Structure 1
Amino acid sequence: MAGVHTYLSHRRAIAAVGFQFFINGVVFAAWATNIPHVRRVYGLNSAEIGIVLLIMAAGAVLFMSLTGYLVQVFGSRRISILSALLFPAALGLVFAVPNYLAFLCSIVLFGAANGSMDVSMNHQAAMVEKYVSVPIMSLLHGFFSIGALAGSFLTFGFIGGGLHPVTQAIALLTGILVVAWWLFPHLVVDAAADTSSRHTLAIGALRDGKLFMFGILSFLTMMSDGAIADWSTEYLIHYSKATPQTATLGYAVFSLLMIAGRMSGDRVVRAIGCRALMAISGSLASAGMTIALFTPSFAAQLVGFALVGLGIANMVPIIFSNAARVDSVPPSVGIAFVSVCGYSGFVVGPPVIGGTAHALGLDRALLVIIAIGVIVACASVIFGRRRSRSA
């Protein structure tokens, strides 16, 4: 009976943390696919949308450091629960405020909730992985992709049903509260904090050129992910004349193929190795973005976004795995460094795309994703040939 109880405890803990990743994906997708609504309401151009995204990113990045301290004081269990509920609530506030100044303030809160949730739920994921003694980090991150896909389809249905974004956010928060009431009690209670890695993170990363390269690749990879999340809908509306409803399918197919790639990634790595898969992944991302940007057919553009999702899917897990094997720093420090770099790319990249789009056009701004795919493919030589058991 004790073995059965332990098995159920493990399953429930994994489900609870996985649901947090799912929430993060759903809410982020609901925001990304409703950016055209924000643009219409406030009459924003691409550069101004870029500024909005930069403000959101600033709130996220600034609050990540504070969240690290709060996790040390109060534990990631409490902070992750609070941020998981605040994130969808802040989304509703973003759409409900009466004027532009209030909107910008709500965007800061939305970004802060996102940054706080990112730190605290990943802390929970690391503890659960240690608790169950089985590598599950890729699985948990897969829940984010599933959530992003679900959020895209939910928005598609909500827009088709004529629901205002505020109503959409309320519906999401209600569903989250119901499931959270059942699952969140199974989150892991924090052990004593380990602060030793905090002092060696920057020094170890800067001294090791290979880890620094992994950080750059993590930044670029997540920058591509964030760019597709925030700009794919806008691109399809303005360059394919798609309706706001059908334009959400771009991010949906991107997320769907990313899920497929992550679910099969471990088997592919075992078959061909990290180096070969990174080369293939970069090539797929570059080819997919080329199709999306240079073909006039809406169906072909969806195929292009799908290929980008498949290409990006396994880049971050492979980068994390190899960063954990760098000799000059502990595995936790290597993973932490590429995590910070990747998240910075995810939140900073879209505003940069917005500013470039205002000056040159969104189609030209998104050419950077083609370049990133080529860079990743060329940089694949720094990766190990075999799959690591860590990370």
Structure 2
Amino acid sequence: MTTPLPRAARVATWIYFTLNGFAMGLWVVHIPVVEDAADISHSTLGGLLLVLGAAAFAGMQVAGPLADRVGQRKLLPAAGVLLGVALFFPGLADSWWTLGLALVCFGFGNGTIDVAMNSHAVVVERAYPRPIMASFHAMWSIGGAFAALVGAATLGADVPTAVTLSACGAFTIVVSLLTGRFLLDGRPEPGEAASAAAPTARPSTKLVWLLGAIAFAMMLAEGVANDWAALHAEDVLGTSTSAAAFAYGSFAVAMTVGRFATDRVSALIGPVAIVRYGAALAAFGLALVVVVPSLPVALLGWALFGLGLSGSVPQLFSAAGNLDQRSSGALMARVVGLGYVGLLAGPALIGGLAHWIPLNVAFIVPVALCLVAVVFAGVLAPRAVAAEELVSR
């Protein structure tokens, strides 16, 4: 008898990824307005964004073990509510310290739901005979695009930021609570956990760190594109501001399309090939941006860069979540956390290097990190995981 697929849980997970992308996107499009309302400088905002990142990392490390203890079915709706409540606060900030407190809450909520939804995605994927992780990450991108449309409409209509963020926060809370009933509990049954614990050692720390290191490299490269693609087109290639926007747009569209396609490709060639050849394609695409000072070539390069990166992170998160079902959340929190550090570090690293060398030359760093991922992609192979577990016994 064939076990029915948990389609409702899959759709519910799509919704949570979309909500998270929507919330983050709303914050991003309102950053200039919030900065003005709080009457702070760009440098102060930069410091507060680091606070947001640190709070998100803390939320991830709390959410991982909590998912293993209470189950994703309880944690994920609670994380969605926490994120929705936190979305109220940035629009109310009127000073640097009130904005700092708001971003601590928002960052913690974002980190919590990030690990909770990825951990639940692994649980749902286990019930399917094929990979489905990348499609969840594609829905995050869709949520961000929807936020950009909503933000443009509300800002254009002069709707107060506090009203927009509060209304969207309330929407996030309601949808999170309504969707929670369709989730799965990823904790193994007591008998299943006991039988699994006897013959199998926990995965080695070395393997977890390798997966985290690759996630760091790939998400650092993604962060570079997010913050520097348009600036490269404007400052290095000399394009107009409107034309420069197409540089990031080509990257973002290619990444979204690639994530929708990755699951089917991964089912055919496996996660190692997705990461290895995807990282190689990303390195080639960014190398085009570095060496050819032409906008059409740059647009092609950023598109290849986005397409190459699109499938790598979902494969890494899925591998981390499947290392040990008993501690899936905690293991994923480490890998997701390291990836998030890379996402934050990438733009800052390139910005620092750009003070000393041309911006396009600074892009050699993410190119090199993509090549490192090509070399170490083999750690995602099932036989590598098995070998690491034998060594750790």
Show the counterpart of 1:87.
83
Structure 2 residue corresponding to 1:43, chosen from 36, 41, 47? 41
CA gap 1:203/1:118 in 2 versus in 1, 3 angstroms: same
Aligned length: 372
The structural deviation recorded for 1:182 is 4.6
Residue pair 1:231, 1:350 contacting (<8 A) in 2 also: no
- Does structure 1 conserve the Cα–Cα contact (< 8 Å) formed by 2:202 and 2:324? no
For residue 337 of structure 2, the aligned residue among 329, 332, 343 is 343
What is the alpha-carbon root mean square deviation over aligned residues? Answer: 4.3
How has the CA–CA distance of structure 1 residues 72 and 37 changed in structure 2, closer, same or farther, with 3 Å as cutoff?
same
- 2:171 aligned with 1:172: no
Structure 1 residue 332, shift from structure 2 partner = 6.7
Q: Which residue does the alignment assign to 1:140?
A: 136
Three-state SS of the structure 2 residue aligned to 1:183 is: helix
Shift of 1:56: 1.4
User: What's the offset of the Cα at 1:91?
Assistant: 3.5
Distance 1:350 1:55 in 2: 11
Q: Which residue does the alignment assign to 1:25?
A: 21
User: What does residue 309 of structure 1 align with?
Assistant: 306
TM-score (norm 2): 0.74
Which residue is equivalent to 2:57? Answer: 61
Distance in structure 1 (CA, Å) of the matches to 2:41 and 2:155? 20
Q: Distance in 2 between matches of 1:336 and 1:70?
A: 8
Structure 2 unaligned runs (5+)?
Answer: 386-393
The correspondence for 1:188, drawn from 161, 177, 184, is: 184
Query: Quick one: which amino acid aligns to residue 285 of structure 2?
Result: G
2:116 is matched with: 120
1:283 — aligned with what?
280
Matched residue type, 1:44: H
Q: Percent sequence identity over matched residues?
A: 25
- Quickly say closer, same or farther: Cα 1:35–1:138, change in 2 above 3 A: same
SS at match of 2:313: helix
Conserved? CA contact 2:134–2:263, under 8 Å: no
Q: Offset of 1:167 from its aligned partner? A: 4.6
Structure-2 separation of matches of 1:250 and 1:150 = 19
Q: How does 1:144-163 map to 2 (within 5 A)?
A: 144-159=140-155
Q: Distance in 2 between matches of 1:309 and 1:202?
A: 37
Q: TM-score, normalised by structure 1?
A: 0.74
Per-residue CA deviations over 1:39-83 (Å, capped at 9, x if unaligned) read 6652214xx555333211211222233334544665433432232
Contact 1:59 1:108 in 2 (8 A): yes
Deviations 1:330-381, CA, capped at 9 Å, x for gaps: 4776896465234323245424632651563493655432222222234446
Instruction: Indicate conservation of the 8 Å contact 1:87/1:110, yes or no.
Output: yes
Task: Report Cα offsets for 1:268-307 as digits up to 9, x if no partner.
Answer: 3455555554343123222333455666666654444332
The counterpart of 1:218, out of the listed 215, 219, 226, is 215
Q: Secondary structure at the match of 1:124?
A: helix
Structure 1 residue 360 corresponds to structure 2 residue 354: yes
Aligned residue in 1 for 2:258: 261
3-state secondary structure, aligned to 1:42? coil
Report the CA distance shift for 1:366/1:163 in structure 2 as closer, same or farther (over 3 A).
Answer: farther
1:107 aligns with 2:98: no
Q: Which amino acid aligns with 1:205?
A: S
Letter of the 2:83 counterpart: F
Contact in 2 for aligned 1:205/1:337 (Cα 8 Å): no
Unaligned 5+ segments in structure 1 are none
Of stretches 12-21 and 315-324 in structure 1, the one that deviates more from structure 2 is: 315-324
Do the aligned residues in 1 keep the contact of 2:85 with 2:173 (CA within 8 Å)?
A: no
The aligned residue for residue 205 of structure 1 is 204
Contact (CA 8 Å) 1:36, 1:234: kept in 2 or not?
A: no
